[in-house]
Amino acid sequence: MSAVGVIGGGSIGLLLAGKLSAAGYDVTIWTRTQRQADDLNRYGITLEDPTGMTLHQSRVFAVHYTEATFFKHGPILLAVKQTALTSELYKQLARTVPVGGSLVLFQNGIGHVERLQQELPNRHIVVAVTTEAALRLNGTTVRHTGKGETQLGEWGSSMIDQQENQHTNRLVDSRKTINDVEGVLQEAGFTAFLSNQLREAVMRKLLVNAVINPLTALLRVTNGDLIVTDERIALMHSLFTETFVILQAHGLKEQQSLWQWVVQVCEQTKDNESSMLQDIKANRMTEVDAINGAICQLARQQGLEAPLNTMITALIQASHSNRRE
């Protein structure tokens, strides 16, 4: 396998494409605008370290996403936000990912996996939960602001299930697909591994995103600035506690250690602007519906109240009315 496709020219998309190209893969990247595709074909991707020093200047082949055709050469990494998952994009994905092909999902939030499984039958859908941090400086330059890890797996299945049914062709194929994706990402320098607890990993990331992203967006502060005053920490903890209670039914446990982890994320990414803050500042739609809005939906299913998540979702949604179309 020597070729990889990447859909999305945002921070994670450019990070994936740049590191894969630097590792020797032939990378095709599909972008939202023709201008970015032209710039990428002309200049390639510049990958910087956290200090701003250039690590690699990588060549890629870029096209506008509407021009994508069947990609039969390797896996396709879907690195767009949930707000980009429109009916039009689903149709384009059906024309791009061949039957039997692999699509790797790098989205925040929940709810999208089931929809993609419905829209793309007979494809291998792999879920990636990543803590890699990146900042897109322009259409061709990305800064790798924090090294993390990427957990891979199938949504709705577990390694126990696969071991118990290891003789079925479907599960063997799925395991091979995930192993192939794992190898590709590892060769590009990412810490990637097959997870036995993918659903828990998804819920852990949802918890972190539900606390940090909307509060940084509403307060207009970096991640680290959330923990500089007692008032902000108290607000964080209240939102964390409400969200944790709701997500307990989906496998989360050890409340205190998870709270410490949320604080640690703020410390380790203290200079980062969350994706939701970046969207608010750029007058773009945010992923609040797939994050805090999804928390509210899970609460309703359990007969629980989620007043903080409901209020925060409404506040972020209200800011959408000022976005540029």
Q: DSSP 3-state assignment of 112?
A: helix
The answer to whether residues 185 and 226 belong to one domain is: no
The domain that holds 210 is classified in CATH as 1.10.1040.10
Catalytic residue among 72, 91, 205, 281: 205
Q: Name the average pLDDT for the chain.
A: 90
pTM of the entire structure? 0.87
Mean pLDDT of 288-309: 97
Give the chain's domain count: 2
Mean pLDDT of 165-184: 70
Q: Which pLDDT band, with edges at 50, 70 and 90, does 136 fall under?
A: very high
The answer to whether residues 15 and 137 belong to one domain is: yes
Mean pLDDT of 26-50: 96
The domain that holds 127 is classified in CATH as 3.40.50.720
The answer to whether residues 210 and 245 belong to one domain is: yes
The answer to whether residues 176 and 230 belong to one domain is: no
Q: Which pLDDT band, with edges at 50, 70 and 90, does 154 fall under?
A: confident
The answer to whether residues 13 and 155 belong to one domain is: yes
| Residue finishing a domain among 194, 215, 240 | 194
Instruction: Indicate if the pLDDT at residue 194 is higher than 50.
Output: yes
Q: Residue 171 has what pLDDT?
A: 52
Q: Residue 74 has what pLDDT?
A: 87
Sheet holding 61-64, edge to edge: 61-64, 26-31, 3-7, 76-78, 102-105, 124-130, 150-153, 192-194
Pinpoint the alpha helices (H) of 49-168: 87-96, 112-119, 159-164
Q: Which pLDDT band, with edges at 50, 70 and 90, does 203 fall under?
A: very high
The answer to whether residues 157 and 228 belong to one domain is: no
| Residue finishing a domain among 142, 177, 194 | 194
The answer to whether residues 290 and 187 belong to one domain is: no
Instruction: Indicate if the pLDDT at residue 198 is higher than 50.
Output: yes
Instruction: Indicate if the pLDDT at residue 161 is higher than 80.
Output: no
| Residue finishing a domain among 165, 194, 223 | 194
Mean pLDDT of 194-201: 88
Q: Residue 160 has what pLDDT?
A: 35
Among 171-185, 263-277, 299-313, the range with the most confident prediction by mean pLDDT is 299-313
The answer to whether residues 149 and 10 belong to one domain is: yes
The answer to whether residues 58 and 173 belong to one domain is: yes
E strand spans, 122-195? 124-130, 133-138, 141-146, 150-153, 192-194
Q: Which pLDDT band, with edges at 50, 70 and 90, does 31 fall under?
A: very high
pLDDT digits (tens, 9 = 90+) for 81-114: 999 999 999 999 999 999 989 999 999 999 999 9
The H or E element containing residue 258 is helix 255-268
Does the annotation mark 205 as catalytic? yes
Choose between 36 and 72: higher pLDDT.
Answer: 36
Q: Which pLDDT band, with edges at 50, 70 and 90, does 3 fall under?
A: very high
The answer to whether residues 184 and 207 belong to one domain is: no
pLDDT digits (tens, 9 = 90+) for 260-290: 999 999 998 888 889 999 899 988 899 999 9
Contact criterion met (CB below 8 Å) for 291 and 209: yes
Residue range of the domain that includes 250: 198-322
Determine the length of the chain. Answer: 325
Q: Residue 159 has what pLDDT?
A: 35
The answer to whether residues 111 and 211 belong to one domain is: no
The answer to whether residues 133 and 173 belong to one domain is: yes
Strand-pairing partners, residue 146, are 133
